[in-house]
């Protein structure tokens, strides 16, 4: 069973960021939220997926992690939210 988690990548040369959040909802389904955008503006996009199988959630997270690294992104700590 995968653990809930969050991953945050940046691409310093392209000035881009990518965020991945995995958590379980009240119905027991795994929810995968992806968000991406520019480090220089407030522009961003997002995609939400409901995954009912834990194996699918784990495979998808691993695939996304490999893809981000292959495309030159670096895994970093998520930024603190501004108030």
Q: How many CA atoms lie within 13 A of 63 on its CB side?
A: 7
Is 82 within a domain?
no
Q: How far apart are CA 19 and CA 2, in angstroms?
A: 17
Mean pLDDT over 51-79 rounds to 89
pTM confidence score = 0.82
Is 83 within a domain?
no
Q: Contact 57/22 with Cβ under 8 angstroms?
A: yes
Question: What DSSP letter does each residue of 9-69 carry, written as one string?
Answer: EEETTTTEEEEEEEEE-TTS-EEEEEEEEESSSS-EEEEEEEE--HHHHHHHHHHHHHHHH
What integer best gives the mean pLDDT of the chain? Answer: 88
pLDDT in tens, 51-64: 878 888 889 999 99
- What CATH number is given to the structural domain containing 50? 3.10.450
pLDDT in tens, 5-18: 899 999 999 999 99
Show the domain range for 52.
5-76
Please tell me the predicted confidence (pLDDT) of residue 1.
42
């Amino acid at each position: 069973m995968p653990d809930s988690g969050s991953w945050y990548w940046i691409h310093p040369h392209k000035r881009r960021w990518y965020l991945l959040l995995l958590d379980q909802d009240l119905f027991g389904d795994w929810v995968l939220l992806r968000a991406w955008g520019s480090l220089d503006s407030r522009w961003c996009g997002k995609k939400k997926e409901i995954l009912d199988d834990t194996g699918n959630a784990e495979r998808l997270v691993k695939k996304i992690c490999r893809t981000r690294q292959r495309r030159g992104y670096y895994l970093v700590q998520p930024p603190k939210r501004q108030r």
